[in-house]
């Protein structure tokens, strides 16, 4: 096994293919609304991560039913994950948060994946998720944005949190019996390969359950986009991205599920994305190189 693919984990856990359906709720982000910063992370566009979602004005259950009806017909799908994807899902009053989650607990939804920031995961919200997980027969995974384990890089990205915030959030989520997924960008030019290795080692030591990797894409109307247009920022090349991603996998515990190796963004909103190459071609290249060089997830991991 080159790496622990999400699709394999889902079949092993739920005994068939499971489809992740994005849900959009009316929340913002404290790193954009002035609470922490009004500028947001330097790469974050106006829509947060919600390119593929329906309007947040549509009730959660209605969004899910519409998407499920389309996907079940197209792919003969039977089981689903409701993915609270956009901005910071826990950045709303606790009662409202509970209501959003409960609306997503419908037939054939086997898990709720809730994305948030490391500094927006108070115990009250963890308690709500644990209660729903225990009483409603649904798994809950907290997806936590980290991107880099280098505090200096986090500051340059204007993330507005530190590595300690992330460690604290994972440890508390685990204490509450919730699974966690870390979001990482493997080709941040401000990071060195040693930061990438340190990232894999930290996630392994903490016992994070899943990882979602991204490449750094550059959206229009972002600070990073303005730097890029003025020639002040140069992305790494594709070979470096592939090498860093493989190295990251080598130092990562073999038990951690890889949700994905590379993200994607809509072309019309991007100044730069994935070296104008399809994401699946890049994944193919990563896998080819791993096979050829006998490299695999966990090969150099100390933990697990
Ligand atoms: S934490 Fe997420 S939603 Fe908030 S500014 Fe950063 S990338 Fe955007």
- Predicted pLDDT of residue 52: 59
Greater confidence, 303 or 216? Answer: 216
- Predicted pLDDT of residue 267: 84
Answer yes or no: pTM beyond 0.75: yes
- Residue having the nearest C-alpha atom to atom 2 of ligand 1: 87
**Residue 83, φ and ψ in degrees, nearest 5:** -110, 110
Over range 108-124, report the average pLDDT: 97
* Residue 97 and residue 128 in contact, taking contact as beta carbons nearer than 8 Å: yes
- The binding-site residues of ligand 1, defined as CB within 6 angstroms of any ligand atom, are 29, 31-32, 40-41, 44, 48, 87-88, 117, 145
Ligand 1: centre distance to CA 256 (Å):
24
Greater confidence, 147 or 268? Answer: 147
**What is the best residue among 42, 46, 88 to mutate for testing ligand 1's pocket, by most ligand atoms within 8 Å of CB?**
88
Ligand 1: centre distance to CA 65 (Å):
27
Ligand 1: centre distance to CA 92 (Å):
15
Query: How are beta strands 139-147 and 79-84 bridged, if at all?
Result: unpaired
**Residue 84 parent element (H or E):** strand 79-84
Over range 229-237, report the average pLDDT: 97
Q: How many residues does the chain have?
A: 304
Q: Buried b / exposed e across 10-43, counting CB within 10 Å, b at 16+?
A: beeebeeebbebbbbbebebbbbeeebeeebbbb
Over range 45-71, report the average pLDDT: 82
Ligand 1: centre distance to CA 143 (Å):
13
**Residue 113 parent element (H or E):** strand 109-116
- Predicted pLDDT of residue 266: 84
User: Predicted confidence band at 265 (pLDDT cuts at 50, 70, 90)?
Assistant: confident
- Predicted pLDDT of residue 221: 92
User: Predicted confidence band at 48 (pLDDT cuts at 50, 70, 90)?
Assistant: low
**What is the best residue among 25, 27, 30, 31 to mutate for testing ligand 1's pocket, by most ligand atoms within 8 Å of CB?**
31
- Residue having the nearest C-alpha atom to atom 7 of ligand 1: 44
- Structural domain 6-292, CATH architecture: Alpha-Beta Barrel (3.20)
- Residue having the nearest C-alpha atom to atom 5 of ligand 1: 40
Residue 47 has pLDDT above 80, yes or no: no
Over range 160-188, report the average pLDDT: 98
The domains of the chain are located at 6-292
Over range 229-251, report the average pLDDT: 98
Residue 49 has pLDDT above 80, yes or no: no
- Predicted pLDDT of residue 285: 98
Sign, Cα dihedral of 130, 135, 139, 140:
negative
Across the chain, which distance is largest between two alpha carbons, in Å? 53
């Amino acid at each position: 096994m080159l790496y622990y693919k999400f699709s394999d984990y889902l079949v092993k856990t739920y005994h068939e293919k499971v489809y992740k359906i994005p849900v959009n709720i009316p929340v913002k982000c404290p790193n954009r609304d002035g609470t922490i910063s009004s500028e947001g992370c330097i790469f974050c566009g106006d829509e947060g991560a919600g390119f593929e979602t329906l309007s947040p004005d549509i009730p959660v259950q209605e969004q899910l039913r519409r998407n499920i009806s389309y996907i079940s017909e197209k792919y003969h799908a039977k089981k689903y994950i409701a993915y609270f994807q956009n901005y910071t899902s826990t950045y709303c009053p606790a009662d409202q948060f509970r209501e959003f989650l409960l609306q997503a607990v419908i037939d054939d939804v086997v898990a709720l994946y809730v994305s948030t920031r490391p500094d927006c995961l108070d115990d009250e919200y963890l308690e709500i998720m644990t209660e729903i997980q225990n009483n409603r027969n649904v798994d809950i995974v907290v997806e936590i944005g980290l991107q880099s384990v280098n505090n200096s890089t986090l500051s340059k990205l204007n993330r507005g949190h530190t590595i300690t915030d992330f460690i604290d959030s994972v440890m508390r989520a685990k204490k509450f019996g919730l699974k966690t997924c870390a979001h990482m960008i493997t080709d941040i030019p401000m990071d060195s390969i040693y930061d990438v290795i340190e990232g894999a080692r930290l996630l392994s030591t903490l016992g994070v359950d899943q990882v979602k990797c991204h490449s750094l894409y550059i959206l229009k109307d972002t600070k990073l986009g303005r730097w890029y247009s003025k020639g002040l920022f140069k992305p790494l090349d594709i070979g470096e991205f592939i090498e860093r991603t493989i190295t990251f996998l080598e130092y990562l515990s073999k038990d951690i599920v890889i949700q994905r190796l590379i993200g994607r963004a809509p072309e019309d909103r991007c100044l730069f994305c994935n070296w104008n190459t399809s994401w699946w071609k890049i994944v193919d290249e990563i896998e080819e190189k791993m096979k050829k060089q006998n490299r695999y997830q966990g090969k150099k991991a100390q933990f697990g």
